[in-house]
Structure 1
């Protein structure tokens, strides 16, 4: 993606919030220098760091990912366009077909997901999702001038960020470097922008939770760090810890699909979004994500050739003959999320649903 210049299409500036000055209990996350992943020697040096980070906290920061601060800021300007420029009536024209076919491409309106079933609180998250092939579907008029930049951004996330991370994960399993890369070609869902507004009454009823505790259903989630605090991870001691903003850094975590493929070696970390601290509540929280999923026809089976898994054992979420295809898993999780009636689980504060015979947990 080119840096902002006179030739770039004009775009309203998105003004970010200043970082919070409140003393929050921040998670201690590892910082990975992705520039080192460009050489075999560098990959050998950092894959143990990635392995340890994702097997302890489940989240990590990535720096030196190939974008300057100016390029990152430009994309946040573009990411705000669907919410600040596109008229409400046009949003309806490009509404995502989540409930019918499980696709988040287009607008997800507010008040779609159940945040608190007992108090009948619905979410207030606005979301616009784009296929990695940004030209595959039509977009609102206001976004069309930025499609070349959106295309470059999607490809950068996929090729220059996701693929190096997948190579590092493969190395950690003592597999050929391209094992996971081959399962993640340039298809399926990709870039997503979200904005989180909320009323005070809904905050009270939902106990200040905007997005209940969950695990992502994809392979690797790439979140472009932004300053409004709200993201929390559930630490191994059972406490919710905040994820701190880091300028021009990425926040990386793995999801359910990676748990399938890694035979339980990489378990997804439970995380949620809550009301920001008081000094940031007057600001809109804008998030930019790149969600990665394997190719639709990939059967979600453990990589049994891994010498690591052969040594420590394989954990399966289901019998191999029942393992879902990645495309089906994505659609079933998408259709059910926030819409399906949940049952109380055995653990305190845990609700459960059954997806394709596999128990999926949600945490309050």
Structure 2
């Protein structure tokens, strides 16, 4: 895992104070950690990946039935070549599907729109909902540790993300058929949200930009879940916890000839949460960098930058 530290999530129950320091220091230095012993059954993860392969194997015209213009890709299918990283010149070589929180139509947050489920893959809803719920709870455990590390009450984040517009994103990077293409599977970027949890591909390609300016390849060890800081948490902590730049490069042969699948979970604040620097994160040496903004306004601003909202 090179420079990315491992965090044993079983310490959350056995030694919470030690867990707080391990995860807090890991994020403060790296912005990325690998979660081991996280308690999510291997079966839950593998079933979600298997049904994801089945989903993206559907004919293009069938998948496009589930692409809904005007919602910024918030739910359902987003076709290949749609998303472009902030400040990038070429679209990413990927297609994906967005699964959000299951809510009643009478939700207090109109941003939380109903999910779109493919009738051709009836088990997709069950498998992805199970993974969503498992990653949501794991993410909340991580955030409890971060909260205490930052000098906040242990439940500081739980009440601010319990109705967040969090997204589970089954991803498919098809085989790369065009030689010398200027596009990559996912151009260098930072995540918009609070934290991201990533399961999936064992193939090479994921790289993290180190503080020394070098790209460090990341191989997801068996059973581990990568978890990184997003821009919302970076903003809340006034840069104390960094949102680290990462990318998915086009791999060498023979990996470029096969599909790559992964499923990131983007954990978000509730839409009306105001993201403003925590007082303890503002010092004379680290003056306040950003004005306050609601989570929803920030999300929409960033979605426009990456081409999902026009």
TM beyond 0.5: yes
Stretches of 4+ moved more than 4 A in 1?
114-118, 310-315, 338-341
1:165 to 127, 135, 142: 142
Pairwise CA distance, 1:340: 9.7
Pairwise CA distance, 1:243: 0.5
Instruction: Note the 1:32-181 alignment, pairs <5 A.
Output: 32-39=7-14, 42-84=15-57, 86-97=58-69, 100-114=70-84, 121-133=90-102, 136-159=114-137, 161-181=138-158
Higher relative contact order (CA 8 A, sep 6+): 2
TM-score, L = length of structure 1: 0.75
Is 2:164 aligned against 1:192?
no
Pairwise CA distance, 1:225: 4.1
- Given the superposition, is the C-alpha separation of residues 316 and 217 from structure 1 closer, same or farther in structure 2, using an over 3 Å criterion? farther
2:110 corresponding residue in structure 1: none
- Give a deviation string over 1:111-156, Cα, whole Å, max 9, x none: 22347999x7433201011112188323111233342332222111
Unaligned stretches of 5+ residues in structure 1? 1-25, 342-364
1:335 corresponding residue in structure 2: 304
Is 2:194 aligned against 1:222?
no
1:288 corresponding residue in structure 2: 263
Pairwise CA distance, 1:268: 0.3
1:325 corresponding residue in structure 2: 294
- Given the superposition, is the C-alpha separation of residues 83 and 200 from structure 1 closer, same or farther in structure 2, using an over 3 Å criterion? closer
- Given the superposition, is the C-alpha separation of residues 260 and 281 from structure 1 closer, same or farther in structure 2, using an over 3 Å criterion? same
Pairwise CA distance, 1:338: 4.5
Unaligned stretches of 5+ residues in structure 2? 105-113
Aligned equivalents of 2:176 and 2:73: distance in 1? 28
TM-score, L = length of structure 2: 0.88
- Given the superposition, is the C-alpha separation of residues 147 and 339 from structure 1 closer, same or farther in structure 2, using an over 3 Å criterion? closer
Classify the secondary structure of the residue corresponding to 1:212.
strand
2:228 corresponding residue in structure 1: 253
Q: How many residues align?
A: 301
Pairwise CA distance, 1:339: 7.3
Aligned equivalents of 1:222 and 1:251: distance in 2? 6
Q: Is the 8 A contact 2:10 2:38 kept in 1?
A: yes
- Given the superposition, is the C-alpha separation of residues 200 and 283 from structure 1 closer, same or farther in structure 2, using an over 3 Å criterion? closer
Q: Is the 8 A contact 1:302 1:314 kept in 2?
A: no
Aligned equivalents of 1:328 and 1:310: distance in 2? 23
Q: Is the 8 A contact 2:9 2:35 kept in 1?
A: yes
- Given the superposition, is the C-alpha separation of residues 147 and 68 from structure 1 closer, same or farther in structure 2, using an over 3 Å criterion? same
Q: Please say which structure displays the higher CA radius of gyration.
A: 1
RMSD, matched Cα: 2.6
Classify the secondary structure of the residue corresponding to 2:263.
strand
Q: Is the 8 A contact 2:197 2:225 kept in 1?
A: yes
